[in-house]
Amino acid sequence: MRTFIYPGSFDPFTKGHADIARRAALLCDRLIVAVMTNKSKSPAFSTEDRVWMATECLKNVPGVSVSAFGGLLVNFYKENGATAVVRGLRSESDFRFEAELAAANKLLYPSFEMLLLPCRSDLTFTSSSIVREVATYGGDITNMVPDEIRSFVAEHLRRTVEGEENHA
């Protein structure tokens, strides 16, 4: 049984994330999309919303489940009997970060493996923070966010910015 884990903040889930998850699911028996709950990033979306977004976008992909996780990735990896972590690679700068992540995790757990999947070229510059920025100012996020969650993401970010303006 090959169990892969696809971890991230997914704040929010994007078309880039959906593409990596779909392709990774074809390479294993079970893919767990792991939504990180660590507070270090102060996410714009709650853990529940981030789990819901990933679940909604991947509901038709066989062998995929979505879970929240906190603490160290290696612990989640061991608890789930994983064979590899999957991450998307958009650019050279991603590679540097991912190589450090892989090395640190391997020091913590020598059986740890990481697979890097190159991103689709049209999604190379998509990121959650770009989606947040564009949606906050009412821009069109159609090409960045899966259809299933597009209106939810746009509405949530619009309401967040309105709330901030009302408190200013």
The residues assigned a catalytic role are 17, 41, 90, 128
9 binds ligand COA (CB under 6 A): yes
Stretch that binds ligand COA, among 8-16, 25-33, 60-68, 146-154 (CB under 6 A): 8-16
- For residue 79, how many other CB atoms are within 10 A of its CB? 9
Residue number, 23 or 158, with CB nearest to ligand COA? 23
- Give min distance, CB of 81 to ligand COA, in A: 17
Contacts of 66 (CB under 8 A, 6+ apart): 32, 33, 34, 35, 51, 54, 55, 58
* Site of tokens 């770009």: 130
160 binds ligand COA (CB under 6 A): no
The reply to whether omega before 12 is within 30° of 0 (cis) is: yes
Residue number, 97 or 166, with CB nearest to ligand COA? 97
143 binds ligand COA (CB under 6 A): no
Residue 86 corresponds to which tokens in the numbers above? 């999957």
153 binds ligand COA (CB under 6 A): no
Q: Distance between CA atoms of 166 and 152, rounded to whole angstroms?
A: 21
**Type of residue found at 1:** M
- Give min distance, CB of 28 to ligand COA, in A: 17
Please give the full DSSP string across 96-148, using - where no structure is assigned.
Answer: HHHHHHHHHHHHH-TT--EEEEEPPGGGTT--HHHHHHHHHTT---TTTS-HH
User: How many residues sit in the footprint of ligand COA (CB under 6 A)?
Assistant: 24
Our measurement of the distance from residue 12's CA atom to the centroid of its chain's CA atoms, rounded to an integer in Å, reads: 8
57 binds ligand COA (CB under 6 A): no
- Give min distance, CB of 150 to ligand COA, in A: 15
Residue number, 9 or 28, with CB nearest to ligand COA? 9
The residues in 89-128 that bind ligand COA, with binding defined as CB under 6 A, are 90, 101, 104-105, 119, 123, 126-128
